[in-house]
Amino acid sequence: MARLIDYVKGLMIGIEETAFSGVSYSVVNIIARRKKNGDEQFLMLLDTCETSWRPRATLLPTCSVLIKAFEDAQRKELGLPELRKSSRLANANVAVDEDEILF
């Protein structure tokens, strides 16, 4: 399942840098994770067959399903148990009224 993301793409021409904003690509898959300067980054495979490292914050919430699938696959590969939510937490989330949430 591909997810669309928008970001500014930069292109170097000689010694000047030209940037094109509003470029949209579909993220096909998340293929790796790394920590750089304390920030968690994911290597995305784009529909153009290019790869790009992006911080987690720029991918959420658009790519949250792909990130969760990647993290679940990593846990399974390492032989770790699947993460589960407690039933109390699930029931509490259902009971929350959206009008009471403060932003």
Q: Is residue 22 part of a domain?
A: yes
Q: Is residue 58 part of a domain?
A: yes
DSSP-derived 3-state class of residue 57? helix
- Which range of residues forms the domain containing residue 40? 3-80
Q: What is residue 100's DSSP assignment? A: G
Residue that has been written with the tokens 């993460």 in this structure: 83
Residues in the chain: 103
Which tokens sit at 56? Answer: 């987690």
Q: Is residue 87 part of a domain?
A: no
Query: What CATH number is attached to the domain comprising 8?
Result: 2.40.50.40
pTM, to two decimals: 0.61
CB 10 within 8 A of CB 19: yes
Q: Is residue 97 part of a domain?
A: no
Q: What span, in angstroms and rounded, lies between the C-alpha atoms of 102 and 47?
A: 37
Provide the number of structural domains found in the chain: 1
Q: Is residue 89 part of a domain?
A: no
Q: Is residue 102 part of a domain?
A: no
Q: Is residue 12 part of a domain?
A: yes
Per-residue pLDDT of the chain (103 residues; tens, 9 = 90+): 555 565 555 555 555 554 445 557 788 889 999 999 999 999 998 888 888 899 999 888 888 888 988 999 999 999 988 777 666 666 665 555 555 555 5
